Structure 1
Amino acid sequence: MATIRRRKSGLFEARLQRDGRRFSVYGRTETEVRQKLAELERKLAIDQAPPVGRVTVRELCERWLATERKRWKPKTYYDYRWHLEHHVYPVLGRVQLSKLTPDRLQRFFDSLSGRSANLTFRLLHRCFVVGIRWGFLGQNPCDRVVPPAYQAPPIELPDADALARLFRYCLESDDPYAGLVGLSLLCGLRRGEITALRWSDIDLQTGQLSVVRSGQWIAGRWVETEPKTRAGRRTIYVGEQGIRLLRRQKALVAQLKLQAGPAWQEHGLVFPGPNGQPLSPSRVAAAVQRICKASGVPPLRHHSLRHASASLALLAGVPLPEVSRQLGHANVSITARVYSHCISDGRRVTEAIERVLAG
């Protein structure tokens, strides 16, 4: 793995060791040096590739990661690498591509379960497609096995009365993260979007909230990127109750700042951690669970609040394209697929056809 440090001169340096050799790249900013590091890794992967006949699964995956890294968001790259290192490499990493038989690959997939099996299959399939393009494979080994059968479990949500009770609690609670839960339920924001939300993104006079970034903790570092999709950059109207939540939140943040004293790290975040730093996923999860319990609502994950927001809007008759824009989905078809159970139970379709046929 590479290391990055700031030199006394002010320049950033990234160091990488490969086969006993040390490589360094420099940049004026950490972002610049990370871009140069990604390019260096890509070149090294190409230059050091072994003869085609002896290429292993790990060597192909590493070349693929190095090539695709600059196209992916940091969290995507980190998650893919983690998955390969913890699931694929221990079992198949040293296997030469020429010896990767369908039986061996099938037994590997069968040893996994649930979402891990599904994600591993999709990762290796994509990697092998590139391997064919590069001439390492004649056909995709994943096309010769039975794909893992996985269906995401349905998300169970409380009824509308329970969600209304949860929202009322958020409006009145002094919990510093009640506003996070309430605003997530009201606007359907992703966790990365709401934890990276700053006061500069909000106009309390007009009730408009601009989603312009997403943030995640990656290997102990807070990393901010563009929203998940191009449509993710959007403006949302939070309404009177949203303004009420945010005004209350501003007062609660001021209290947190006083309590933290000199330890406070100012980032301008709407929902900061105890010392002003961005919230971790575990702290968000704990806050959602705590507030659900306090309001008498069954425990929910943060992403369930997003699903609840979209479901309530669709069941209330809000047009699908408007809900899709609010959620920041890349296209309406995603919204239709995920929330098909909310769009219609078929009754309105049948009744409309009956009216036409009956004249």
Structure 2
Amino acid sequence: MKGHTRRRGKTWAFVIDIGTDPATGRRRQKWVSGFERERDAAKAMRDYIARIERGEVVAEANETVASYLRDQWLPSRRSKVKESTWAGYQDAVEGRIIPAIGALPLRKVTPKHIAKLYDDLLIAGSRDTRRGRGLAPKTVRNTGLVLKKALGDAVRLGLLARNPTEHVEMPRVERKEMKTWTTAQARQFIGFIRGDRLEALWILMLTSGMRRGELIGLKWADVDLDAGRLAVRRARVAVGYKVVWSSPKTMKSARVIALDVATCDVLQAHRAGQGDEMALVGDAYHDEDLVFAKPDGSPLHPDYVSQRFGRLVKKAGLPIIRLHDTRHTAATLLLEAGIPVKVVSERFGHSTTSITADLYQHVAPHMQEEAANKLGAMLLGEPEPEAEDS
């Protein structure tokens, strides 16, 4: 955030650039005047910018929802969250919240306004929705979570006495049936993609359960094929029309994953093929140490990986699943094989084991039956004969 001082009549003022008005494309500025000396205006400007960046917003009597969210809350969050998270905040604020309640005075927002916002989004959608179609309950719920966070910060900073979102029920999101492959189907896919340039990516995706961004952000420095392990340290994610480097999704997502011998062999062959590409391209090769890259070494786009996966699945004649569903497939197969939930949770980088158990509860009946049968056999079945002393 930048600003400068300026003389206005007999006093000094400061002006701060606070972004662009999305409706007009014009630059928006914040003016504060009435200082006797320029150095007083400069000091007040520095203090004002620092307070906004720390989230210590400045209350004004005529503060609207739009001015609070655009000028103070969004700028205060930018340095505190990942770029992809901030882009999600901005999308919700500019595309769905401000068009509906942006003109309201911040202090006069009521639960009734919030409830109407949710209903309107579910029925008619946002300004970006074509033909007036309503938004998915999950999208509306995520919008509500952003608004709840923003107004909660306003309460904490003394701009509101209470958070009106706390008294409004958010849309319920129904759990969709998880689509996964069986062991036979996963093996069929692996057999089909043998020889594909990204064969190693598809195989590592299934054997490790890594996320798309983690795979295309993986570097050879993170891989130890001799020890049979790799470290997830970063990801490449799409933010709007840009692809950026990002930290792993959660603290637990930064993890070490053990690799089986066959996967290590596939990666070793992939590395040799990558060396051939590097020699062919020569000085034009963009060496970023990426395990999976374009033939010239430049990074893969996340959307390209998903689209290519979709085409391969269709050609293989397999049930259509999303690329992310291969992660669900790997977790389901491990749990069905009897691998403890805690081990699967750590391998997949879930923040808690309860997330793993909740995501894959469809496996629970099978595991419960197996547990019952094992315990029943131990206690009620015929005891195994003891070994005779020699």
Q: TM-score, normalised by structure 1?
A: 0.81
1:54 is paired with a residue whose SS is coil
1:87 is paired with a residue whose SS is helix
Tell whether 2:286 aligns with 1:254.
no
Instruction: Find the counterpart in structure 1 of residue 187 from structure 2.
Output: 164
What count of residue pairs does the alignment treat as equivalent? Answer: 328
2:79 is paired with a residue whose SS is helix
1:98 is paired with a residue whose SS is helix
* Counterpart among 302, 309, 312 of residue 333 in structure 2: 312
Instruction: Find the counterpart in structure 2 of residue 85 from structure 1.
Output: 94
User: In structure 2, do the counterparts of structure 1 residues 356 and 185 end up closer, same or farther at CA, with 3 Å as the change threshold?
Assistant: closer
1:54 is aligned with what amino acid?
Answer: N
How many Å separate the matches in 1 of 2:284 and 2:98?
Answer: 42
Which structure is larger by alpha-carbon Rg, 1 or 2?
A: 2
Instruction: Find the counterpart in structure 1 of residue 120 from structure 2.
Output: 111
Tell whether 2:68 aligns with 1:60.
yes
Instruction: Find the counterpart in structure 1 of residue 261 from structure 2.
Output: 240
Identity %: 28
Instruction: Find the counterpart in structure 1 of residue 23 from structure 2.
Output: none
* Counterpart among 327, 335, 352 of residue 348 in structure 2: 327
How many Å separate the matches in 1 of 2:363 and 2:321?
Answer: 19
Residues 236, 245 of structure 2: 8 Å contact kept:
yes
2:157 is aligned with what amino acid?
Answer: W
Instruction: Find the counterpart in structure 2 of residue 295 from structure 1.
Output: 316
How many Å separate the matches in 2 of 1:178 and 1:294?
Answer: 15
How many Å separate the matches in 2 of 1:216 and 1:231?
Answer: 18
1:163 is paired with a residue whose SS is helix
1:82 is aligned with what amino acid?
Answer: D
How many Å separate the matches in 1 of 2:141 and 2:66?
Answer: 19
Whose helix proportion is higher, 1 or 2?
Answer: 1
Instruction: Find the counterpart in structure 1 of residue 206 from structure 2.
Output: 185
Q: TM-score, normalised by structure 2?
A: 0.75
Instruction: Find the counterpart in structure 2 of residue 11 from structure 1.
Output: none
Residues 60, 127 of structure 1: 8 Å contact kept:
no
The unaligned stretches of length 5 or more in structure 2 are 3-15, 19-27, 32-45, 122-134, 382-390
Q: CA deviation at 1:272?
A: 0.6
Q: CA deviation at 1:194?
A: 0.8
How many Å separate the matches in 1 of 2:49 and 2:201?
Answer: 41
How many Å separate the matches in 2 of 1:297 and 1:307?
Answer: 16
How many Å separate the matches in 1 of 2:370 and 2:226?
Answer: 40
How many Å separate the matches in 2 of 1:184 and 1:225?
Answer: 19
Residues 178, 291 of structure 1: 8 Å contact kept:
no
User: In structure 2, do the counterparts of structure 1 residues 354 and 316 end up closer, same or farther at CA, with 3 Å as the change threshold?
Assistant: closer
Tell whether 2:286 aligns with 1:286.
no
* Counterpart among 265, 282, 289 of residue 268 in structure 1: 289
1:17 is paired with a residue whose SS is strand
User: In structure 2, do the counterparts of structure 1 residues 289 and 47 end up closer, same or farther at CA, with 3 Å as the change threshold?
Assistant: closer
User: In structure 2, do the counterparts of structure 1 residues 293 and 178 end up closer, same or farther at CA, with 3 Å as the change threshold?
Assistant: farther
What does the per-residue CA deviation read over 1:192-228, in whole Å, with 9 as the maximum and x for residues that have no partner? Answer: 1111101111122222111122222435554323322
User: In structure 2, do the counterparts of structure 1 residues 74 and 41 end up closer, same or farther at CA, with 3 Å as the change threshold?
Assistant: farther
User: In structure 2, do the counterparts of structure 1 residues 240 and 169 end up closer, same or farther at CA, with 3 Å as the change threshold?
Assistant: farther
How many Å separate the matches in 1 of 2:206 and 2:189?
Answer: 9
Instruction: Find the counterpart in structure 1 of residue 385 from structure 2.
Output: none
Tell whether 2:213 aligns with 1:205.
no
Tell whether 2:353 aligns with 1:336.
no
User: In structure 2, do the counterparts of structure 1 residues 311 and 57 end up closer, same or farther at CA, with 3 Å as the change threshold?
Assistant: same
Q: CA deviation at 1:91?
A: 1.8
1:236 is paired with a residue whose SS is strand
User: In structure 2, do the counterparts of structure 1 residues 220 and 277 end up closer, same or farther at CA, with 3 Å as the change threshold?
Assistant: farther
2:174 is paired with a residue whose SS is coil
Q: CA deviation at 1:129?
A: 1.3
Residues 254, 349 of structure 2: 8 Å contact kept:
yes
2:287 is paired with a residue whose SS is coil
2:267 is aligned with what amino acid?
Answer: L
2:324 is paired with a residue whose SS is helix
How many Å separate the matches in 1 of 2:112 and 2:57?
Answer: 30
What does the per-residue CA deviation read over 1:273-314, in whole Å, with 9 as the maximum and x for residues that have no partner? Answer: 243222112101112112223333223222111111111100
User: In structure 2, do the counterparts of structure 1 residues 218 and 259 end up closer, same or farther at CA, with 3 Å as the change threshold?
Assistant: farther
1:71 is paired with a residue whose SS is coil
User: In structure 2, do the counterparts of structure 1 residues 238 and 55 end up closer, same or farther at CA, with 3 Å as the change threshold?
Assistant: same
The unaligned stretches of length 5 or more in structure 1 are 3-15, 23-36
Q: CA deviation at 1:95?
A: 1.7
Instruction: Find the counterpart in structure 1 of residue 52 from structure 2.
Output: 43
Q: CA deviation at 1:105?
A: 2.1
Residues 200, 267 of structure 2: 8 Å contact kept:
yes
